[in-house]
Structure 1
């Protein structure tokens, strides 16, 4: 078939360019009037946004404040559980972070002359847990710590007559562990309550012994005393956060 000169010139020119340019401008034999349907189409310059993280954060901690440890147990309770306390105001424990932890202790000796003496010790500790995305809510962390503390108490080295009891109506969850431990030649009876209220853990220890022939304290009475003081401490947490 006879080809016109202009058309033949265009075909020869296209044959001389690199192959990748041929695809763009020489794929049609219709004088450039038909667009290349195989060429990639522009998306308009828009790009997809990175998916947003929809993972919910942990719930905020319930309590932001701790009570003053030495004021957390009422004077009335101290008088009952620690007669003749050396200081009803208590002795505060040392803490480098009073927003997260604190404690106080009381002790006293009642001398009954020929009937011997009764010694009592009471201490309370507060541990507050913040909510942390990588660790869980404050409540979850306090619950985990509570389980560990109870397990440690039950495994106290040298402890005898170990038993535990759940105290209802004290915080969210409360367990008291009682046991007898031989110290300084006497049998000391311990009752330690581990209570959780929200994101705060209360560990309250009440112990005592009878000296010079005095009767050894009854473990149930010691447990009851520990629970009584723990109720004061839990109420103090609520009051501190009003």
Structure 2
């Protein structure tokens, strides 16, 4: 059964609001030096005096780069989670710092004639952190944003029946948050997986809805599929950094 272009546009408007890629805890510490702002002369002898405690060197960030967000999931995974995806290559999120913030989203409408349609929306978002003296170690900064993203998922506007649980086996930390949101009298079932692998935080948002009389998706199945995809995304972070580490070796001249 054919659907009009205006009908498809209205249906796709039901997608969840994309996650805003925001880095937590990046405020400047430039205002802490109040002496210079008050016209006081700094005491050079005091500044040179040892504190008595050796400052611990910040650990080097484990991961130096992020994977291509639209290639972090295999094509077979996209086909499984988002049947009839409008663009299997995904739509990359806008970012002016792809080494530290990136994301990609897919959506699809699987029509089945008089039985209605199944709508699916999937988004992967990435944040990467470096160690900075004023802000802390890379892992600590990532953990702070991990906790922030979990809270954001739990407090999604309009969310009902929110349930958060540990997501085992996904990076160093993992949490799943499931809930439902009603839009245009249609229940959208949402799953968010938040994971941290060392200094990288990942969120995978996955939701589905049955439209035009189609049965509602199985929320347990949505969660199971999201967990599988999240593990694949975490693995893509390690693979991207291994590839980068090997790049100089492949470009170096071979011994004669």
For 1:221 and 1:173, the matched residues in 2 are separated by 22
Number of residue pairs the alignment of both structures matches: 194
Residue 156 of structure 2 is matched in structure 1 by: 156
Q: Which SS does the other structure have where 2:123 is aligned?
A: strand
Q: Following the alignment from structure 2 to structure 1, what is the Cα–Cα distance between the partners of residues 103 and 238?
A: 17
- List per-residue Cα deviations over 1:47-66 (Å, max 9, x = no partner): xx853872112211110010
1:208 is aligned to 2:201:
no
3-state secondary structure, aligned to 2:60: coil
Alpha-carbon distance in structure 1 between the residues aligned to 2:199 and 2:65: 10
CA distance in 1, matches of 2:49, 2:196: 42
SS state at 1:139 partner: helix
Structure 1 residue runs without a partner (length 5+):
1-48
Root-mean-square deviation over aligned CA pairs: 1.4
**Partner of residue 234, structure 2:** 234
In the superposition, the TM-score normalised over structure 2's length comes to 0.73
User: How far is the alpha carbon of 1:157 from its aligned partner?
Assistant: 2.1
**Residue of structure 2 equivalent to 1:31:** none
- Secondary structure of the structure 2 residue equivalent to 1:170: coil
Distance in 2 of aligned mates of 1:57 and 1:137: 9
The answer to whether 1:51 aligns with 2:50 is yes
Distance 1:159 1:95 in 2: 27
d(CA) in 2 for partners of 1:83, 1:158: 26
1:47-196 equivalent positions in 2, closer than 5 A:
50-51=49-50, 54-196=54-196
For structure 2, the residue ranges without an aligned partner over 5 or more in a row are 1-47, 243-256
| TM-score, length-scaled by structure 1 | 0.77
Shift in Å, 1:142: 0.8
Q: Give the corresponding residue for 1:7.
A: none
Following superposition, the deviation at residue 205 of structure 1 comes to 0.3
The 2-side partners of 1:207 and 1:164 are apart by 16
Partner residue in 2 for 1:15? none
Deviates more, 1:173-182 or 1:211-220: 211-220
1:77-101, CA deviations, whole angstroms, 9 ceiling, x for partnerless residues?
Answer: 1011001111111111110001111
The DSSP-based 3-state class of the residue aligned with 2:191 is: strand
